[in-house]
Amino acid sequence: MKMGFRWYGEGNDTVTLDHVRQVPGVETIVWSLHGKQAGEVWEQAEIDAEVAKITGLSDEARARGITRTFDAEVVESVNVHESIKLGRTVLGLGRDEAIENYVTTIRRLGRAGVKVVCYNFMPVFDWLRTDLWHPLPDGSTALFFERAVVDAMSPQSLIADMEANTHGLTLPGWEPERLASFTELDAAYEGVTREDMYAHYRYFLDAVIPACEEADVKLGVHPDDPPYDVFGWPRVVSTKDDLACVLSLHDSPYHGLTLCLGSFSANPDQDPVDAVRTFMDRIHFTHVRNIKHLGNGDFTEVAHRACEGSVDTTGIMRAYAEAGYQGYVRPDHGRHLWDENTTNKPRPGYGLYDRALGIQYLLGAWDAFRYDA
Ligand code: DNO
């Protein structure tokens, strides 16, 4: 297993690589070119420059005796253009052209040494929450989801809410360019069924996975977050059955999962440890985090330790350790601690402290269970 840390890039993250260097156990920086829109080709020079930044050390750092570096083997995400999910031209881009661009980007990432690319197949929106700074009893704040609020809300007001509460930092999946086209997308999804989505998904995989095999880059789909349909658009990567169905669409080890266990477990009927054991061979990357169920599909995010919430994070690490998991892992959203939401003002869920604490918990469990294994 390799431990990763998600980083948004210089000038686009309140956390620096030098901060992450001091978190024991992190080997991989999980990165992306966050300025790129879905459907756009990533240029080789831009990729190489970002990889060099992550894997290198400044002269000044060397002079201070710093030697610790990272690899840049995981990208989260190369976003899938809506034309691919819809199986037709939308927002001025045809499906085949969008796929061609995706393949070009994958090949270039492979050349730069990237091993895993994360993406999702959620219509229109990526992940969503109804409160980004929800107070917890210990005085910290965390991401929070209340199903009735989403059900009563229009997508437009949700967009406005998300935009207004992010310290001016763009949230992944909530890029203004993507949301500007909301009305066209909403209309385009009218009448689209789950079967349509799976057919379009298969078409995408059949076109992209052979290139992934050649480039030696594995794709890992991130489950829907939360794992329910929202605003009537079909989400097809929500349940354990969905994951099995998605994997059966194309039979190659290069088509696998970014198993986000916080997302998966937001449905209280789902067992994350069972999912890890079931899909082990196809898990290329995993996000481990904890949430606490509050009834009615509502949940709050909490610290990574199992007993803090409803997700058996220790059982998850045990399942990985017993199988000798070789893929990548990262802690996921953290709480906002020690006044960081008023001082450092991080991107919601992506401050430094709680993710650093979470890593130590996950690694402690891993080390203990590996010792037993
Ligand atoms: C949110 C993230 C998601 C995730 C994408 C993967 O914090 O978990 O934005 O990166 O769904 O494509």
Q: What pLDDT digit, counting tens, does each position of 247-265 carry? A: 999 999 999 999 999 999 9
Distance from the alpha carbon of residue 240 to the mean position of ligand 1, in angstroms? 18
Strand 283-288 with 131-135, pairing: unpaired
| pLDDT tens digits for range 269-296 | 999 999 999 999 999 999 999 999 999 9
Determine if ligand 1 sits within 6 Å of the CB of residue 119.
Answer: yes
Is the pLDDT assigned to residue 47 strictly greater than 80? Answer: yes
Pocket test for ligand 1, best of 219, 222, 328 (most atoms within 8 A of CB): 222
Q: Is the CB of 172 under 6 A from ligand 1?
A: yes
Ligand 1 touching residue 363 (CB < 6 A) = no
Question: What CA–CA distance (Å, rounded) separates 122 from 294?
Answer: 24
Q: Does any ligand 1 atom lie closer than 6 A to the CB of residue 118?
A: yes
> pLDDT-based confidence at 231, cuts 50/70/90?
confident
Ligand 1 geometric centre to CA of 172 (Å): 6
pLDDT bin (cut points 50, 70, 90) of residue 45 is very high
Residues contacting 78, CB < 8 A, separation 6+: 32, 42, 102, 105, 106, 109, 117, 118, 119
Per-residue model confidence (pLDDT) at position 173: 75
Range of the domain at 15: 2-371
pLDDT digits (tens, 9 = 90+) for 128-160: 999 999 999 999 999 999 999 888 888 888 888
pLDDT per position as a tens digit, 67-81 = 999 999 999 999 999
Q: Is the CB of 126 under 6 A from ligand 1?
A: yes
The Cα 91–Cα 80 span in angstroms is 13
Which residues have CB under 8 Å from 357's CB, separation 6+? Answer: 303, 304, 334
Q: Give the closest residue to 22 by CA, choosing from 59, 81, 64, 51.
A: 64
> What pLDDT shows up at residue 123?
94
* CATH code: domain of residue 249: 3.20.20.150
What is d(CA 294, CA 289) in angstroms, rounded to the nearest whole number? 16
Q: What is the structure's pLDDT at 156?
A: 80
Which of 8, 34, 76 to probe ligand 1 with, by most ligand atoms within 8 A of CB? 76
Q: Is the pLDDT of residue 179 over 80?
A: no
Looking at per-residue confidence, does 217 or 370 come out higher?
217
User: Which residues fall within 8 angstroms of residue 207, CB to CB, at 6 or more apart?
Assistant: 96, 99, 103
Mutate to test the pocket of ligand 1, among 126, 166, 224 (most ligand atoms within 8 A of CB): 126
* Beta-bridge partner residues of 218: 116
CA-wise closest residue to 361 among 326, 312, 293 = 312
Nearest CA to ligand 1 atom 8: 127
How far apart (Å, rounded) are the C-alpha atoms in residues 57 and 88?
45
Atom of ligand 1 nearest to the CA of 79: 12
Q: What tokens appear for 153 in the block? A: 């809300």
> Is the bond preceding 272 in cis, omega lying within 30 degrees of 0?
no
- Number of domains composing the chain: 1
- Give the residue from 55, 136, 140 showing the smallest Cα distance to 300: 136
Residue 222 CA: nearest ligand 1 atom is 6
For ligand 1, whether the C-beta of 76 sits within 6 Å is: yes
Distance of alpha carbon 289 from alpha carbon 332, whole angstroms: 5
Ligand 1 centroid – CA 173 distance (Å): 7
Ligand 1 centre to CA of 55 (Å) is 23
State the pLDDT confidence band at 373, using cuts at 50, 70 and 90: low
* Nearest CA owner, ligand 1 atom 9: 172
Which residues are 74's β-sheet partners?
30, 116
CB of 349 closer than 6 angstroms to any ligand 1 atom? yes
Strand pairing report for 218-222 and 141-145: unpaired
Interval between CA 300 and ligand 1 midpoint (Å):
17
In the reported structure, the alpha carbon of residue 67 is separated from the centroid of ligand 1 by a whole-number distance in angstroms of: 31
- Indicate whether residue 173 lines ligand 1 (CB < 6 A): yes
CB 325 within 8 A of CB 277: no
Q: What is the pLDDT of residues 106-132, one digit of tens each?
A: 999 999 999 999 999 999 988 999 999
Percent of the chain with pLDDT over 70: 99
Average pLDDT, integer, range 181-190: 89
Concatenated DSSP letters for 29-62?
Answer: EEE--TTPPTTPPPPHHHHHHHHHHHH---HHHH
293-346: pLDDT as tens digits:
999 999 999 999 999 999 999 999 999 999 999 999 999 999 999 999 888 899
Interacting residues of 292 by C-beta distance below 8 A, sequence separation 6+: 299, 300, 301, 302, 308, 309, 310
Q: Is the CB of 101 under 6 A from ligand 1?
A: no
Distance (Å) from CA 221 to ligand 1 centroid: 10
- Hey, is 179 helix, strand or coil? helix
The reported pLDDT for the residue numbered 180 is: 79
